[in-house]
């Protein structure tokens, strides 16, 4: 019975996502037409993240270990163990941001419009696609936008999840373009909204999010890429 209730709540949450998306779609479509309105597009993305969660009994408690200067742009690097992570990160970042995410999100009816406009899809198995995605990401960073990149690349197959090895992309970008990296620990999203490879589930709860101090990369060179990757990994792991 408990498992059935959790599966029903998951369906309810997905229904709320669909409802809020439909209600905001005219605005999302309008603001997706030009880059100058991407801030407004992110505002409606936050609405689509907060209200379906709240209507499902899911709330977010965000702890910033250090005050963030939102006049600067960053590369946010969170761990990834739940589909709820995208909702959480949409609420964490306060300036104009975009996601670098898997190409499959182009097939999702809700995320498709974002990944056709503000966000950047990537196929890490295809070298040319990956190169183009990171080139476009670099251009967005140079325009002053903040990137959200899950350095693990995907949700772990393990259940309970284990922090996976990080890909090199975000750290190389940070060093090449001198953009600070902000590690983020999403502590318990997998307990609230999960997929253990066999079944899905959802339950009410509080998502605890730890935003670590930005790591400045001034003075780093590409030979320090592994050092930076390890610094971010250790920061995220320290709060799990």
Amino acid 198: pLDDT = 56
Structure tokens at 220: 């780093």
Domains of the chain: 60-238 (3.40.1130.10)
Q: What are φ and ψ of residue 223, in 5° steps? A: -70, -15
Residue 160: asked if its preceding bond is cis (omega within 30°), the reply is yes
Amino acid 199: pLDDT = 65
Which segments in the chain show pLDDT lower than 70? 196-199
Residue-wise over 73-96: b if at least 16 C-beta within 10 A, else e? bbbbbbbbbbbbbbbbbbbbbebb
CB within 8 Å of 27: residues ≥ 6 apart? 40, 44
Amino acid 124: pLDDT = 77
pTM: 0.93
- pLDDT per residue as tens digits for the range 38-54: 899 999 999 999 999 99
CB within 8 Å of 211: residues ≥ 6 apart? 62, 63, 64, 65, 68, 92, 182, 184
Closest CA to 120 of 88, 98, 87, 138: 98
Q: Helix (H, G, I), strand (E, B), or coil: what is residue 123?
A: coil
Nearest-Å Rg of the Cα atoms of the chain is 17
What are the contacts of 51-55 at 24+ separation with CB within 8 A? 51/16, 51/20, 52/13, 52/16, 52/17, 52/19, 52/20, 52/87, 53/13, 53/84, 53/87, 55/13, 55/16
Q: How far apart are alpha carbons 67 and 94 in whole angstroms?
A: 12
- Strand 120-122: give its sheet, edge to edge: 58-64, 205-211, 181-186, 75-78, 146-149, 97-102, 120-122
Q: Strand ranges (DSSP E) for the chain?
A: 58-64, 75-78, 97-102, 120-122, 146-149, 181-186, 193-195, 200-202, 205-211
Q: What are φ and ψ of residue 239, in 5° steps? A: -105, 5
Closest CA to 93 of 64, 134, 59: 64
């Amino acid at each position: 019975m408990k498992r059935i209730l959790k599966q029903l709540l998951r369906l309810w949450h997905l229904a709320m996502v669909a409802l809020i998306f439909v209600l905001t779609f005219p605005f999302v479509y309008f603001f997706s037409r030009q880059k100058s309105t991407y801030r407004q597009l992110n505002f409606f993305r936050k609405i689509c993240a907060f209200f379906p969660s709240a209507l499902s009994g899911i709330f977010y408690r965000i702890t910033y270990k250090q005050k963030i200067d939102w006049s600067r742009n960053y590369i946010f690097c969170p761990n990834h163990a739940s589909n709820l992570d995208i909702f959480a990160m949409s609420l964490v970042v306060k300036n104009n941001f975009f996601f670098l995410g898997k190409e499959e999100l182009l097939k999702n009816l809700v995320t498709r419009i974002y990944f056709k406009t503000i966000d950047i899809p990537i196929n890490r198995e295809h070298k040319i696609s990956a190169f183009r995605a990171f080139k476009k990401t670099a251009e967005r960073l140079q325009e002053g936008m903040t990137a959200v990149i899950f350095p693990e690349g995907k949700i772990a197959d393990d259940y309970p999840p284990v922090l996976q090895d990080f890909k090199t992309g975000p750290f190389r970008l940070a060093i090449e373009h001198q953009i600070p990296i902000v590690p983020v620990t999403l502590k318990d999203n997998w307990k609230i909204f999960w997929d253990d490879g066999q079944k899905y589930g959802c339950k009410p709860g509080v998502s605890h999010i730890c935003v670590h101090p930005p790591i400045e990369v001034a003075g780093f060179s590409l030979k320090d890429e592994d050092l930076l990757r390890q610094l971010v990994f250790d920061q995220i792991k320290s709060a799990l």
